[in-house]
Amino acid sequence: MLYKALAADMKSYVDDYRGRASAPWVKNEWREIEGQLWWDINGNLPKRIPPRNGLYCDTDILFAMWPEFTEFLCEVEVDGQSITFRNETRQCWQKMRVVKIKAWSLSDSALIADWCEGQTHDLWASDFPSEAQLFDTRHYQGNYAAMLAIIQPLYKSLFVGGDTIVRFAPQGMKLKPEYSDFLMRSILLAYITSLCLTGEMVAHGAPCSDIARLIRPTTWATVRGFVEDRWNSKEEL
C-alpha cells in the first residue's frame, strides 16, 4: 500500500520538496506533474537529496507522516514515471490520485508516542525502578498529569544545572557523567509522551518514532504494525 499525508487544508507540503503547498487534494481525482521527474536539472546534487519534481508517497506509514502536519492519512494510486529513494520506501511519481482519506487526529499521534515509549520503557525503568513503577501506575490509571509530574523532574535531573531547564535541555547542555546519552534519550521519550498525552505538546504525525528507532531499532516495525492496524480500523471520509 502507498500512503500519503495531508495537512488540515488537504494540501501536501512535501510535493515538489520545496516547502510549498500543493493545491488541495480531492478524492479520486488524478494529478499529474508537468515535465520529467528529476533530482537536479544540472546534475549537481547527489542522489541522497530528494527529487525536486514529482508527487510523493511512502510504503511506510510512519515515514509517510514526516515532515507533514498530518491531519489526514490517505491511500494513493500512482502511474507514470517514478523514482524510489530514502530507505527504498519514499516514492516520487508523475501521476497520483487519492483513493482513501482517513482523519488522523492529535490523539492518534499521541498514541504513537505512547506505543513507542512502551516498547522502550525498560531501558530507563531498570535505572529508575521507583519512578518507573509510579509512572506505570499513573499510566494505567490514565492520570497523564501525574505521569508528567514524575518524568519531567527526572529528565531535568540528568543534566548539570538541570534545575534551570524550562522544558528541554538546550543544545550544549551537559549530561551528568554518571548518565549515558542512551539513557537520556529513553527518558526524553517518556517525557515527550507525557507531554503529548496531557496535551501540553501538540504533535502531528508519528512523534517519538525516530527516538525509539535510535535507541531500539526493532521498535519501528512493531509500532508501524500498530499504526497500520489503527489506520485500517478507521472510517473513510
Q: Three cell numbers at 5?
A: 499525508
Low-confidence residues of the chain: pLDDT under 50: 41
Residue 194: how many other CB atoms lie within 10 Å: 28
Residues constituting the chain = 237
Give residues with Cβ within 8 angstroms of 86, minimum separation 6.
50, 63
Distance (Å, whole) CA 151 – CA 139: 12
Q: Three cell numbers at 236?
A: 473513510
Distance (Å, whole) CA 113 – CA 149: 18
**What confidence tens digit (pLDDT) does each residue in 76-133 have?**
999 998 888 777 898 989 899 999 999 999 999 999 999 999 999 999 999 999 999 9
Q: Where are the domains of the chain?
A: 3-103, 106-233
**Peptide bond preceding 24 in cis form (omega within 30 of 0):** no
pLDDT value, residue 69: 84
pLDDT value, residue 47: 57
- Quote the radius of gyration of the chain (alpha carbons, Å): 20
